[in-house]
Chain A
């Protein structure tokens, strides 16, 4: 499953970058995440509760931040397991200054699902991913103190 989207923030790339790299902030703004702990350089252990269409589950696993090019881009490598199946994704996140204080965030990646999640959740997954990303960006805007961002 393809994961792509963009979001424009009224903040500089550096500001956004520092929020994204802060464990406490991330734990607060990521939808469904109940626990996020740093277990090494760019490595996190995450516990999350997510509902996807007809199925919901408690996920746990690792998030790894790879290929960091501060403050331009990184790759988020996600490995989350649950009783209803597992998610594996690699998403490239890019921050591009637009003008003055505006920065555009692009994400592009691919997720693969297994188990019950694949059997029954696949069709609604892209909708769920889009909702979750919107929630995430909205929360991130609030953290940045700006409310004028836009999804595209």
Chain B
């Protein structure tokens, strides 16, 4: 029946990408376009005493210079936050304004102070260097825990102790404290989930284009969700009418979360364009990307897990300080809370859980969602606790997991699993993925080899991670109750053209995911037509009715489901037309392989015929509207819950401390799979990023809150030769609540892999009594641990 779903169809979009014909924001050149350069604070915290723009303004080719004063005088407060979390006592979170340009104070290294608009990029840059800003440097703080201590410099005067909010979730604290005090064994870890730089290959860019004749605004931007950017920018930042604004996110070269957010530069370009009556473009350079793209992670955590005598988990207590950065980015408040605290059940039957989160302002760039967003932080602490506990209790880490797993449930015959931390898991078979991974690694054999190797002085280690994530974000009513200031449904429109060709408009946005392929596979299969006859259109608010964009592994689960709803409507209407043409009753028709057939006969009519009839309705069912064009909103009933088991095998060089990743096994269950090649690609990329966090990456701020590794000379990204050939397998437990049975695969690799690698290194170092090290596990850190 199906010709495309489940097949490794090659990505149709790759032809333009690999031949250099992609059209990215910076490729767009409009007539009369001017170029912007943004002057940024070199200090993490400084009073702005004076900005002298006269020399810059006098330069040939400079169109205009604006400063924070101009923005303030135009009455613009700044970019809004899209998610509200309240303090435990009910007070609203602290939400200080984030101005497009700052007038009085710079609050992180990179805060925008002035913008120069010139005839060329080079003139703008040179003129930027001519702007004299007089600063009074002030003390700054970068560490979220230190920022809450008495005497720490304040980021915002009206946020005492730098608190953005505090928050808790789970069972009452007293109950968890009691369970922990009665535990036979408690494992405690102090964990730093270090700050990561997203590093999308394409730096951010924005073009503002105001056209006086039509009084319309167009924003071209590197965005994962152009409609949401339009909504936030129109309704909150600039107060301009939404129907006069078009937002286009053309080809986008990766995002990993960092392009979800509505950034100040987007609104600034529109604001400048409106004043100057010309299109204005800004494109970040790599250094600017390091400094101003919202970073990820940055949690300082104390985590404790209690066990009974048999190794059953009796309680979990977590205290986290989460870095927010200098201002609240679009989704920042939900990452350490509803995407982190809610995942602390993991795959285990832990009966009592309490998580306490303090979200803290610091003099650093904003922290927001980065591939996995909250879920890697939760998985990291849980999986590190389990492996550490196994070591402490002299138990096998795989056995300890199997003892504590939630038993299999399909979400249909057996109900979903209600966690202690708000979520209800949809379906799962956790034991299945771990057993398969153990088989693949040859666990018993490995332990023998490891013991043998130790005798010869070789340090081999094995580490586990069994993770779960909440994806397919998200049921609007649920997230609304949790503070989201938007719904998280998706929109899918299917327009059948008169010739039977199909245009599909999706609110999902592809910036590497391959939607033009997978979505076309779904549509072609459902309609029984060739994939070549399906075009997927996304990223333009003028053609796509609405959309919430791509993040949280939501595209196929939510975006794909919206398209499925419209396809159902197409087939239903097609059946009425087919019945009319075949002079049969709709009830007697079946639709398969692109045609409606009268059951038990060879009488049939094809999809193309029906489509043409819909647009040339000369002989047509009475009362039926012509045309074949349906749009649907799909609001999911629940999150989806992909899960999996990852195993890392490492060798540590005793002399240098260098960690070599020898094998990596990943058995993931992401529900049904549309295109196995694309899912494997997502897993591969995710694993590389997760391994990058374990071994290489990490943004470092010095005591003056200066980012001191803001370039590829110092910020280490994982490279192909750092990674083994991944050994992947899949288990399929379909999602019971969406029409495709899919769960999403975009973040699985990142979420699962990090703790597996660190656990493996700790296993290798166990003869040295080393139990915990901060990531990244650089040769120096590992060597010092072995030699202290």
Which A residues lie at the B interface, using CB under 8 A? 53-54, 83, 85-86, 88, 112-120, 122-123
Contact = CB atoms under 8 A, between A and B. Distances in A.
B129 A119 contact: no
B709 A114 contact: no
Contacts, number: 57
A115 B109 contact: yes
B699 to A, nearest CB: 10
A119 B708 contact: yes
Mostly helix, strand, loop or mixed at chain A's interface? mixed
Given A83-B129, A86-B42, A112-B702, A120 B713 contact: yes
Interface in B700-721: 702-704, 706-711, 713-714
B43 interface: yes
B287 A54 contact: no
A114 B703 CA distance: 11
B347 interface: no
B628 interface: no
B291 interface: yes
Interface in B268-311: 287, 290-291
A85 B713 contact: no
A7 B283 CA distance: 48
Given A83-B129, A85-B42, A114-B42, A120 B706 contact: no
A119 B291 contact: yes
Contacts of B703: 112
B53 to A, nearest CB: 15
A112 B704 contact: yes
9 contacts: A83-B129, A112-B702, A114-B706, A116-B287, A119-B290, A119-B706, A119-B707, A119-B708, A119-B709
Interface of B: 42-44, 109, 129, 137, 287, 290-291, 702-704, 706-711, 713-714
A113 B714 contact: no
A109 to B, nearest CB: 15
Contacts of A54: 711, 713
Contacts of B137: 88, 114
Q: List the 6 closest pairs (A to B, CB-CB), nearest first.
A: A115-B42, A119-B710, A118-B706, A114-B42, A122-B708, A120-B711
Contacts of A88: 137
Contacts of B706: 112-115, 118-119
Contacts of A115: 42-43, 109, 706
A86 B704 CA distance: 12
A105 to B, nearest CB: 28
A114 B704 contact: yes
B704 A123 contact: no
B139 to A, nearest CB: 12
B43 to A, nearest CB: 5
A83 B129 CA distance: 6
A116 B39 CA distance: 12
A114 B109 contact: yes
Contacts of A83: 129
Contacts of A117: 42
Given A118-B706, A118-B708, A123 B109 contact: no
A114 B43 contact: yes
A120 B43 contact: no
Contacts of A116: 42, 287
Nearest to B126: A83
Among A116, A117, A120, residue most surrounded by chain B Cβ atoms (within 10 Å):
A120
Contacts of B43: 86, 114-115
Given A83-B129, A119-B290, 16 more contacts: A53-B713, A86-B43, A112-B703, A114-B42, A114-B43, A114-B44, A114-B109, A115-B43, A116-B42, A116-B287, A119-B291, A119-B709, A120-B711, A120-B713, A120-B714, A122-B702
Contacts of A114: 42-44, 109, 137, 704, 706
A6 B611 CA distance: 87
Nearest to B132: A81
Contacts of B713: 53-54, 120, 123
B486 to A, nearest CB: 34
A123 B714 contact: yes
B259 to A, nearest CB: 21
Contacts of B710: 118-120
A122 B701 CA distance: 11
A115 B710 CA distance: 10
B637 to A, nearest CB: 46
A122 to B, nearest CB: 4
B135 to A, nearest CB: 9
